[in-house]
């Protein structure tokens, strides 16, 4: 029985993968042909890379 108790205690921790999950933010732009939206995407990508608390997905 002591082995079972040890397994029950040791297996209850959260995994590192679960802690690494970040929210996903979708960036929807009207047109990439417009310079304004290109600049917006570049700025959003730069901020996401510097911030690191979320994953940016341009759509």
pLDDT at 43: 96
Q: What is the largest CA-CA distance in the chain?
A: 68
pLDDT at 9: 45
* Dist. CA 43–CA 27, nearest whole Å: 11
- Is 6 within a domain? no
Which stretches in the chain have pLDDT values below 70?
1-19
Q: What's the pTM value of the predicted model, to 2 decimals?
A: 0.61
- Is 52 within a domain? yes
- Is 9 within a domain? no
pLDDT at 57: 95
Q: Domain range spanning residue 43?
A: 19-59
- Is 34 within a domain? yes
pLDDT at 10: 46
pLDDT at 28: 92
């Amino acid at each position: 029985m002591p082995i079972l108790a040890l397994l029950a205690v040791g297996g209850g921790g959260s995994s590192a993968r679960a802690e690494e999950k970040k929210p996903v933010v979708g960036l929807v732009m009207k047109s990439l042909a417009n310079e304004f939206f290109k600049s917006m995407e570049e700025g959003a990508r730069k901020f996401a890379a510097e911030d690191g608390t979320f994953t940016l997905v341009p759509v």
